């Protein structure tokens, strides 16, 4: 089992920044980590993901140039630096881990590809 714990959410004004963290513990064999978000009344959507090896990192188009995903393997932690936040990005942000290998954007962005999920951290962007 793998436990994922997110932190770093909060209230920020539009145009501001937040950094989310996700730390994995337990019998982790994960090969990739991702960030997803879910706004009220909407489906969970992909934000960004990366492989632990560092060979692949993907972003959804709407966050490219504003969000940066980084990892600290020694601490089993990934970070999501979010800049220039927009009010429509208010959501609960979830960290996820994947055990199996696959490749390509579709794999990294697919909700169903991930095996473990954190409890989520709320991000509220005020306009």
63 Cβ contact partners less than 8 Å away, ≥ 6 residues apart: 47, 48, 82
| Residue bearing tokens 């609960």 | 92
Which stretch, 4-8, 28-32, 55-59, 101-105, has highest mean pLDDT? 4-8
Q: How far apart are CA 23 and CA 5, in angstroms?
A: 5
pLDDT at 73: 84
Count CB neighbours of 18 within 10 A: 20
Residue 47: DSSP 8-state: E
SS3 of 63, please? helix
The overall average pLDDT reported for the chain is: 95
The conformation of residue 10, written as its DSSP 8-state character, comes to E
Q: Summarize pLDDT for 9-56 with one digit per residue, the tens.
A: 999 999 999 999 999 998 767 889 999 999 999 999 999 999 988 788
Rounded (to 5) percent helix, strand, coil in the chain: 15, 50, 35
Mean pLDDT over 105-110 rounds to 96
Mean pLDDT computed over 5-11: 97
């Amino acid at each position: 089992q793998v436990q994922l714990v997110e932190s770093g959410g909060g209230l920020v004004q539009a145009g501001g920044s937040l950094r989310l963290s996700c730390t994995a513990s337990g019998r982790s064999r994960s090969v990739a980590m991702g960030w997803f978000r879910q706004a009220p009344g909407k489906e969970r959507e992909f934000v960004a993901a990366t492989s632990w090896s560092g060979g692949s990192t993907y972003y959804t188009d709407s966050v490219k140039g504003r969000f940066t995903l980084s990892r600290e393997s020694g601490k089993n932690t990934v970070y999501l630096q979010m800049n220039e936040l927009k009010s429509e990005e208010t959501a609960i942000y979830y960290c996820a881990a994947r055990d199996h290998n696959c490749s390509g954007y579709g794999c990294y962005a697919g909700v169903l590809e991930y095996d473990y999920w954190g409890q989520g951290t709320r991000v509220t962007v005020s306009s």
